[in-house]
Amino acid sequence: MFEHLVELLNRAGYLGIAVLMFLENLFPPIPSEIIMPSAGYSAGQGKLSLAGVIAAGTAGSVAGALFWYYVGKWIGTDRLRRWAGRHGRWLTLKPLDVDRVDRWFHRHCGKAVFFGRLVPTLRTLISVPAGVFRMNLPRFLLLTTLGTALWTALLAGAGYLLQNRYQTVAEYLNPISTIIVGGIVVVYIYRVVTFREGSAE
């Protein structure tokens, strides 16, 4: 997998990195934990520049985050409240909860978006509530870009420095991603099972 990806990135260059990172945010065919270290390895071999790799990875990832931001904006709080009233158990939300989450997100959206972009799996998910609760777009873009640039720089830098051992990055991060996804699923199932219907006001 790594050898084929490195060969692909050497041929496709920065545009290929940006496209793969964009797709990784939509429906991960290949996770960033593999893409960016592979690109960093190519930079270490002199095929690409490290700065260009980080810039391309950041641009593609931010474009993917923007897609989910606008999906969230299309949903909006009014539609989310209606969905919560009809399908509250499966959303694990009551209409009243939407307002509580809205207030929480407006207080903590900056930290949530920046640090969320550094956490596998949550990197993509955090863009949706940012859109739903109408986070200011320039602020969202700034914090998303900063968090994403740091994430891509860490991964690409690891591949650049580790060289032939760059596969180690994915070997360490993939189990973390699996644990996070598993934790999200467990919490969701618990909330569905323990959900109590309440007022739809």
Reported as a single tens digit per residue, the pLDDT across 29-38 is: 677 777 888 8
- What number is the average pLDDT over the span 47-51? 90
- Residue 27: per-residue pLDDT: 76
- Residue 24: per-residue pLDDT: 85
Q: CA-to-CA distance for 29 and 7, rounded, in angstroms?
A: 17
- Whole-model pTM: value is 0.75
- What number is the average pLDDT over the span 37-44? 85
- Residue 138: per-residue pLDDT: 95
Mean pLDDT of the chain: 79
Q: Which of 100-109, 152-161, 162-171 has the highest mean pLDDT?
A: 152-161
- What number is the average pLDDT over the span 137-155? 94
Buried b (16+ CB within 10 A) or exposed e, 164-183: eebbebbeebeeebeeeeee
Report domain extents, the chain: 2-194
CA atoms within 13 A on the CB side of 95: 11
> Does the structure show a pLDDT above 70 at 175?
no
Residue type, 88: G
Q: CA-to-CA distance for 24 and 61, rounded, in angstroms?
A: 8
Compute CA distances 157 → 41, 50, 79, whole Å. Answer: 8, 8, 42
- Residue 158: per-residue pLDDT: 86
Contact 97, 133 (CB under 8 A): no
CA atoms within 13 A on the CB side of 28: 17
> Does the structure show a pLDDT above 60 at 198?
no
